Amino acid sequence: MKREEAKSIKDLFPLFIREMGLETGLSQTRVYALWDELMGPVISSATQQKQLKEGKLYVRLSSSVVRNWLFTKRQSIVQKMNANLGKEMVTDIILY
């Protein structure tokens, strides 16, 4: 039996994620966590639901005041999110 060179977990983990089909779910989780991080505790507490679908982040808010304020900031939020993610995952934010 021939021994292969040992590989680190750091190298194997991305392969495991890809093979198990977990990339989409993990990417969505990263987007949701980043929303809470970038928006801060006030807006995060007004956020009732988040869903990423075909590059659009649907965000349900409990406050119309917060929704109107975020509506004017949507494009800059998209840019910040994609910059933090390292790739373009969010193309638009739909507030409702």
Per-residue model confidence as pLDDT tens digits over 38-90: 999 999 999 999 999 999 999 999 999 999 999 999 999 999 999 999 999 99
- Which residues neighbour 46 within 8 Å (Cβ) at sequence distance 6 or greater? 61, 62, 63, 66
What tokens does 86 get?
Answer: 């390292």
User: What is the DSSP pairing of strand 56-61 with strand 92-95?
Assistant: parallel
In a domain, 4, yes or no: no
**pLDDT value of position 5:** 83
**pLDDT value of position 1:** 60
Domain count, the chain: 1
Domain with 70 in it: 9-95
More confident residue, 95 or 15: 95
Q: Is the pLDDT of residue 2 over 80?
A: no
Please give the Cα distance from 90 to 78 (Å, whole number). Answer: 6
Give the Å distances, CA to CA, from 50 to 10, 11, 28, 61: 30, 31, 10, 9
In a domain, 67, yes or no: yes
Per-residue model confidence as pLDDT tens digits over 14-42: 888 889 988 888 999 999 999 999 999 99
- Give the CATH number, domain containing residue 67: 3.30.300
In a domain, 3, yes or no: no
